[in-house]
Structure 1
Amino acid sequence: MIRLELIGQYSPALLDANMAFSFINFASIGSFFQQPPHAIAYFCDGMLMSSFMSRVTGRAIDRVSFDFTSIADPVFSDAEKLGKRVYLVGATQAELELFVQKLHARYPRLAIAGYHNGYFDAAQAAAIYADISLGHADILIVGLGAGLQERFVLNALDAGFSGVAFTCGAFIRQEALATNTYYPEVINRLHLRAFYRMYREPHTIERYLLDYPSNFLRLAALILQRKVAINITAP
């Protein structure tokens, strides 16, 4: 039995949790099927997934993504307001430094506990976990791609990180290289984010056209066969 812990809506109260949150859509759920991680709660990343889960469970489940069209701004704004320290992991060193500069410009009082690029081996990972603790980070944001980022945040918690962790996929890289924000306002308003990303990043076309339908069918079959148990947790 595969157990999927879903969070129906984002709440600022989650910033005080000592746990890991990730985001699931019909592409990333492929890695979830391969090795379902324990102790991670998921938001529905994308309107297709949130609509599907709302219909399947009979509960209203929001579309929640870690980007500036969704919860990234509330997380950084509340962190700045509450004095919470943020640690970032992901992207190349140059992209990460550009992103940190953008964060400082947008949230001048945000405390950055530290950051590390997304290219490291197991020995270096241990040093990053130690740096997260030494920096007294309250919020850990990790963008390493589906599967890797979930393992990283769980290992960080096991290594003593006592704050809240969010995975963020390609968010750091996307925002670092964007002129303003990655998704233009009109694209976000018209809910054309998937099409815009296929235009900006052609390598994602296969993900949307092949992985989405195949994983949709697989998930639907598992639910019908009662091989997936979905638990919705209130924030």
Structure 2
Amino acid sequence: MIRLDLIGQYSPAMLETNKAFSFINFASIGSFFQHPPDAIAYFCDGMLMSSFMSKVTGRTIDRVSFDFTSIAGPVFSDAEKQGKRVYIVGATQNELELFICKLHARYPRLPIAGYHNGYFDAPQLSAIQADIRLGRANVLIVGLGAGLQERFALSALNAGFTGVAFTCGGFIRQEAMANGVYYPEAINRLHLRAFYRMYREPHTIRRYAIDYPKNFLQLAAMILRHKVAINITAP
């Protein structure tokens, strides 16, 4: 049986933990089915997943995403207030540098322990992990895509990283290339984020049109057959 640990909502206390947190929706859960990682707790990324899991478990599980419509702002703000050193991995070098500039402008007192783009091979992995430790990072933000980013976060913990890790999907690239923030306020308020992303990034249409219904049916079947144990866990 596969165990799925869910977190209902974000808490600033998470920044004091030595854990990895990720985000699951009806697209990314496909990689979870294939390679269920140990020792990762998941937020429900998207209203469909949060609504579904709330009904299945009988508990209120919020929609929590790593973007500026959800917990990205609180994570960076809390890290800035607490003097936590942040290390960021993901996107191309140009996108990453644009993102770091935006981050400095928005959180001028946020300590940046270091950063590395998301294009590296296996021999470079140990060097990046060493850089994370040498930079005395307390918060690790990883945007490498579903599956790979979870494995990277766990490998960092196993290699001696003593802080907290959050995955972030395409957040770094999206914010780097956006004028202002990625999602306009009206789009966020009307809960049209998925449609807006399909408009901005047409390659995601397949994800919403095909992967979402397919993975929904697979997850529902696995729950009915008791092949998935869902655990609501505290931070």
- Whether the TM-score (by the shorter chain) exceeds 0.5 is yes
Alignment-derived partner of residue 113 in structure 2? 113
Q: What amino acid is aligned across from residue 129 of structure 2 in structure 1?
A: Y
Percent identity, please.
82
Deviation digits for residues 70-112 of structure 1, max 9, x if unmatched?
0000000011111000000000000000000000000000000
Corresponding residue of 1:93:
93
How far is 1:234 from its partner? 2.2
TM-score normalized by structure 1? 1.00
**Alpha-carbon offset, residue 51 of structure 1:** 0.2
Q: Secondary structure at the match of 1:68?
A: coil
What runs of 5+ residues in structure 2 fail to find an aligned partner? none
Deviating 4+ runs (over 3 angstroms): none
Output the aligned Cα RMSD: 0.4
SS at match of 1:229: strand
CA deviations on 1:144-188 (whole Å, 9 max, x unpaired) are 000000000000000000000000000000000000000000000
> C-alpha distance in 2, partners of 1:49/1:158?
29
Aligned to 2:154: 154
Q: Is 1:212 aligned with 2:212?
A: yes
Q: What letter matches 2:214 in structure 1?
A: S
Contact 1:19 1:164 in 2 (8 A): yes
Q: Which amino acid aligns with 2:53?
A: M
- Aligned-residue offset at 1:114: 0.1
Secondary structure of the structure 2 residue equivalent to 1:186? helix
Residue aligned with 1:22, SS: strand
The residue number in structure 1 matching 2:140 is: 140
Q: Which runs of 5+ in 1 are unaligned?
A: none
Cα contact 1:9–1:234 (8 A) shared by 2:
no
Q: Deviations over 1:201-232 (max 9, x none)?
A: 00000000000000000000000000000000
- Show the counterpart of 1:103: 103
Superposed, 1:1-235 pairs within 5 Å as 1-235=1-235
Residues matched between the structures, number: 235
Q: Which amino acid aligns with 2:11?
A: S
CA distance in 2 between partners of 1:52 and 1:188 (Å)? 20
